[in-house]
């Protein structure tokens, strides 16, 4: 039987994934793959990782019954997996610490990465500061200007932020720039990818580091409800928080799963959404084969979402595979539905969610009233929304 969880020897999930690299990156990425294959079998590595998750991140994160929201919607019970309560306020710290520990094990001095909105950069700079590693974050010049608070955070944490002025001065150019530096300096440097994307082994490795979320959620829901949940809901940018929750339940056939993509301002217009699985077609991006939103020339399309952490034209290859297998339903929520969900959680639960996570909430809000009160939904609350309040205030004032 095909595994829903594990990639094949060549790093493929069905027809997606793999490792497609320019020659100068083949050896450095093969070194990461070999080191990770060893580390994941090493009980000491796992113990070191789990100790950081407990004492530094503050895990396990609570599984919280959102009684006010449940009552308001009238239907299935909604539980929130509170990744927003992690140190740094989101799930990204889970895999950044894993990648940082692996870099140290490999004898690297420095972490390097690209960042779009800056959230991966901040989480990685945090891990680097804790672990005593240097950190260099490449960021498009346009994003440096737009995301000033995250640039300040990264610098306070001791990272060097490189403003990339080539090409379109955006995420794609930051990726090229960071990979360029890495290819020249990989003896000392570890490339840390921020989601379940990129060449093998990154999609599997980042998923493994995030899978703590679903393992905890399973234990917690069995304690609280004495049964498995009926549905899981998570937002999908690259797809790391979703796979983090889903992995522990993939082989439980009774558990339905929903990945929520941003339909942005208009699902009918390329450039106005980031619904990659809903509307993408197979293509090549960042060293992997996956579903992509692409223009007529096959270049990654411009994308939009109210949540900057979700505006990525590709998606993790395992998600494309889970779509093909029919195991996960991929649905979407618009900017407006997301804003409404954001406000509803603030008022019913006293929790300000990230706009990314609000996409998952928006779907749960549709789903819950269609289910019975003895059914259970678990929503991954991937991050807190403090970072989004100025933007939301401005939008609501209009
Ligand atoms: C980055 C981010 C996401 C999207 O990334 P995934 O890899 O799809 O999880 C979702 N939520 C928050 C809070 C984020 O910071």
- What are the tens digits of pLDDT across the range 240-252? 999 999 999 999 9
Give 115 Cα–ligand 1 centroid separation in angstroms. Answer: 12
- Residue 2, pLDDT above cutoff 90: no
Pocket-testing residue among 309, 359, 385, ligand 1, by greatest number of atoms within 8 A of Cβ:
309
* Angle at 205 (CA atoms; ends 199, 209), nearest 5 degrees: 145
In terms of pTM, does the model score above 0.95? yes
Residue with tokens 């807190």: 384
Pocket-testing residue among 195, 361, 380, 386, ligand 1, by greatest number of atoms within 8 A of Cβ:
195
> What is the pLDDT at residue 327?
98
> What is the pLDDT at residue 1?
59
Which of 134, 131, 3, 73 has the alpha carbon at shortest distance from 379?
A: 73
Residue with tokens 């493929």: 12
Model confidence at 398, in pLDDT bands (50, 70, 90)? confident
Percent of the chain beyond pLDDT 70? 100
Model confidence at 381, in pLDDT bands (50, 70, 90)? very high
> What is the pLDDT at residue 167?
86
Atom of ligand 1 nearest to the CA of 84: 13
Q: Please, what is the average pLDDT of the chain? A: 96
> What is the pLDDT at residue 67?
98
- Residue 129, pLDDT above cutoff 80: yes
Give 92 Cα–ligand 1 centroid separation in angstroms. Answer: 7
Buried b (16+ CB within 10 A) or exposed e, 303-318: bbbbbbbbbbbbbbbb
Give 149 Cα–ligand 1 centroid separation in angstroms. Answer: 18
> What is the pLDDT at residue 378?
99
Percent of the chain beyond pLDDT 90? 94
How does pLDDT run across 134-155, given as a tens digit for each residue?
Answer: 999 999 998 899 889 999 999 9
Q: Is the CB of 315 under 6 A from ligand 1?
A: no
> What is the pLDDT at residue 92?
98
Atom of ligand 1 nearest to the CA of 236: 8
* Mean predicted confidence (pLDDT) in 114-118: 92
Q: Is the CB of 316 under 6 A from ligand 1?
A: no
How does pLDDT run across 51-71, given as a tens digit for each residue?
Answer: 999 999 999 999 999 999 999
- Answer whether 118's CB lies under 8 Å from 157's CB: no
C-alpha to C-alpha distance for 13 and 3, rounded to whole angstroms: 9
Q: Which distant-in-sequence residues (6+ apart) come within 8 Å of 309 by Cβ?
A: 116, 117, 119, 237, 354, 355, 356, 383
């Amino acid at each position: 039987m095909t595994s829903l969880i594990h990639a094949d020897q060549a790093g493929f999930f069905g027809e997606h994934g793999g490792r497609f690299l320019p020659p100068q990156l083949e050896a450095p990425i093969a070194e990461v793959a070999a080191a990770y294959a060893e580390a994941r079998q090493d009980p000491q590595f796992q113990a070191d990782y789990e100790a950081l998750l407990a004492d530094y991140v503050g895990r396990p994160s609570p599984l919280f019954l959102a009684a006010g929201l449940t009552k308001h919607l009238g239907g299935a019970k909604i539980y929130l997996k509170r990744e927003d309560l992690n140190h740094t306020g989101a799930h990204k710290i889970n895999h950044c610490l894993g990648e940082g520990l692996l870099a140290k094990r490999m004898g690297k001095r420095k972490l390097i990465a690209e960042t779009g909105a800056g959230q991966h950069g901040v989480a990685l700079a945090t891990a680097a500061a804790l672990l005593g590693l240097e950190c260099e974050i490449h960021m498009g010049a346009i994003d440096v200007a737009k995301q000033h608070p995250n640039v300040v955070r990264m610098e306070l944490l001791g990272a060097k932020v490189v403003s990339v002025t080539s090409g379109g001065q955006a995420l794609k150019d930051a990726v090229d720039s960071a990979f360029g530096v890495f290819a020249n300096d990989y003896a000392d440097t570890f490339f840390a990818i921020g989601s379940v994307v990129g060449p093998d082994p990154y999609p599997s490795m980042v998923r493994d580091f995030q899978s703590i979320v679903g393992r905890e959620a399973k234990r917690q829901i069995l304690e609280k409800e004495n049964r498995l949940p009926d549905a899981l809901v998570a937002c999908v940018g690259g797809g790391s928080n979703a796979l983090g929750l889903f992995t522990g339940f993939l082989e439980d056939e009774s558990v339905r799963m929903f990945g929520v993509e941003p339909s942005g301002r208009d699902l009918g217009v390329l450039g106005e959404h980031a619904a990659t699985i809903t509307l993408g077609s197979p293509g090549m991006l960042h060293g992997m084969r996956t579903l992509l939103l692409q223009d007529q020339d096959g270049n990654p399309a411009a994308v939009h979402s109210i949540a900057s952490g979700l505006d990525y034209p590709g998606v993790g290859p395992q998600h494309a595979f889970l779509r093909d297998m029919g195991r996960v339903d991929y649905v979407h929520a618009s900017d407006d539905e997301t804003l409404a969900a954001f406000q509803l959680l603030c008022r019913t639960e006293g929790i300000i969610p990230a706009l990314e996570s609000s996409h998952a909430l928006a779907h749960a809000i549709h789903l819950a009233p269609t289910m019975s009160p003895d059914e259970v939904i678990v929503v991954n609350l991937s991050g807190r929304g403090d970072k989004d309040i100025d933007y939301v205030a401005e939008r609501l004032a209009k």
